[in-house]
């Protein structure tokens, strides 16, 4: 991987949602979460590394006290398609037990990772578990899980930016792009 390869990927990509639209949807999502969870003192679990941008911009907009932690599980490891789950940081039972938990992730794609994470959190004794994603991919097939809060929809294409990467590049973009079809 090198800077030239990364630049070529962006130059040939299609802009799906610009920075202004992404910011508007972030604020709207924060308002929805604040209204729903304002009285629950939730534990917010961010899924690294994709959710880092969404989490960093969302947390200051939430209007209630919360506790924060992160987990790290992946199926992609810089690949374009998912494989087996690999946990780098597992949620702590003592932190999750009898809590309302809000899981944050960058995208709800096929839903396998979020299904695994929510199932794990509930098995560890969470009282309630909500999911917030910045983006949800519009798929024809049924997903094993639905998000409670969704920032915006993206087409069924390989998207990147706003926390989502392409071959390890461009998580840092403030907008969402898609690879050429």
Confirm whether 4 is domain-assigned: no
Residue reference for tokens 């024809």 = 140
Confirm whether 33 is domain-assigned: yes
Report how far residue 160's alpha carbon sits from residue 166's, in angstroms, rounded to the nearest whole number: 6
Classify residue 169 by its DSSP letter.
B
- Mean pLDDT, rounded, for 145-154: 98
76 pLDDT exceeds 70?
no
Cβ-based neighbour number of residue 123 at 10 Å: 11
Report how far residue 113's alpha carbon sits from residue 66's, in angstroms, rounded to the nearest whole number: 24
Task: Give every CB contact of residue 7 below 8 A, 6+ residues apart in sequence.
Answer: none
CATH number for the domain spanning 20: value is: 3.40.50.2020
User: Does pTM surpass 0.95?
Assistant: no
Confirm whether 143 is domain-assigned: yes
Of 47-51, 57-61, 67-71, minimum mean pLDDT range:
47-51
Report how far residue 116's alpha carbon sits from residue 109's, in angstroms, rounded to the nearest whole number: 13
Contact between 104 and 57 under an 8 Å Cβ cutoff? The reply is: no
Look over the chain and give the mean of its residue pLDDT values, rounded to a whole number.
92
Confirm whether 5 is domain-assigned: no
Note down the domain range covering 20: 13-178
Report how far residue 122's alpha carbon sits from residue 120's, in angstroms, rounded to the nearest whole number: 5
If one compares 19 and 88, the residue with the highest pLDDT of the two is: 19
If one compares 75 and 176, the residue with the highest pLDDT of the two is: 176
What digits encode the pLDDT tens for the residues 125-141? 999 999 999 999 999 99
Cβ-based neighbour number of residue 12 at 10 Å: 10
Contact between 43 and 92 under an 8 Å Cβ cutoff? The reply is: no
C-alpha to C-alpha distances, 47 to 6, 17, 86, 136, 161, nearest whole angstrom: 24, 22, 12, 15, 16
22 pLDDT exceeds 70?
yes
Q: Report the b/e string of 76-100 with b at 16+ CB within 10 A.
A: eeeeeeeeeeeeeeebeeeebeebb
Contact between 163 and 106 under an 8 Å Cβ cutoff? The reply is: yes
Of 72-81, 85-94, 134-143, minimum mean pLDDT range:
72-81
Confirm whether 80 is domain-assigned: yes
Number of folded domains in the chain?
A: 1
């Amino acid at each position: 991987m090198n800077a030239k390869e990364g630049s070529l990927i962006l130059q040939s990509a299609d802009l799906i949602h610009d920075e202004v639209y992404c910011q508007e949807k972030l604020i709207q999502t924060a308002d929805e979460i604040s209204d729903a969870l304002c009285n629950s003192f939730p534990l917010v679990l961010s899924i690294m590394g994709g959710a880092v941008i969404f989490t960093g911009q969302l947390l200051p907009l939430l209007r209630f006290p919360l506790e924060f932690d992160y987990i790290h599980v992946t199926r992609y490891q810089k690949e374009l398609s998912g494989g087996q789950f690999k946990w780098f940081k597992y949620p702590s039972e003592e932190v999750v037990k009898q809590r309302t938990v809000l899981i944050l992730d960058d995208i709800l794609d096929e839903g396998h990772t979020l299904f695994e994470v929510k199932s794990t959190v509930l098995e560890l004794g969470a009282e309630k578990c909500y999911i917030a994603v910045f983006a949800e991919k519009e798929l024809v097939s049924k997903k094993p899980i639905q998000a409670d809060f969704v920032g915006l929809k993206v087409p069924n294409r390989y998207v990147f930016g706003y926390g989502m990467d392409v071959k390890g590049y461009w998580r840092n973009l403030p907008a969402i792009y898609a690879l050429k079809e």
